[in-house]
Structure 1
């Protein structure tokens, strides 16, 4: 099930990076990659959910990992600015997802 979630994250990140290069869907191949990437991401996420990952945990991990990876890719490869405040925000998002996961295994 975690394989499917990892695939959803990678496909969504790929689609999002391609979106940057699609020039408003005016370039064919980046636009095709966007559509295939997002389609694959949603299919893979649905498979992860179907195999037992709770929706709050799956979506939280998917969103947090996507945000973190896109921010790093933007900063490293696309030369987009990334401030320390933004890095702190990403850390808070990741901490929130960890809290969701840890809360899932804690019994009251």
Structure 2
């Protein structure tokens, strides 16, 4: 399987775990708490497979964290009633831009 597909699945798992943290209520609710543990375990397992496939750790982590941050911010704004203003959107664009530059610089 393509390392990028595995990375996308790792990101989806991490975002699922992060969103579930909001509903776990300090790990006092069983189902969301279980989702957090399983999702993060899955995310790290998939990240390990991506790294084993040969992708550079700096690029993998940059993509994983930046896309995860952007998705969690968007999901928070769209579905959880959290605010997202123009300054925050600009910050997300800068983070994603930095990841793109890392990826482009990796070919040199």
TM-score range, shorter-chain basis?
Answer: over 0.9
Residues 84-95 of structure 1 mapped to structure 2, 5 A cutoff: 84-95=86-97
Q: CA deviation at 1:9?
A: 0.1
Could you tell me which residue of structure 2 aligns to residue 25 of structure 1? 27
TM normalised by structure 2 equals 0.96
Q: Which aligned pairs between 1:56-67 and structure 2 lie closer than 5 A?
A: 56-67=58-69
**How many pairs were matched up?**
106
TM-score normalized by structure 1? 0.96
Unmatched segments (≥5 aa) in structure 2: none
- Measure, in 2, the Cα distance between the counterparts of 1:17 and 1:80: 12
Which runs of 5 or more structure 1 residues have no equivalent in the other structure?
none
Please tell me the root mean square deviation across aligned C-alpha atoms, in Å.
Answer: 0.5
Moved over 6 A (4+): none
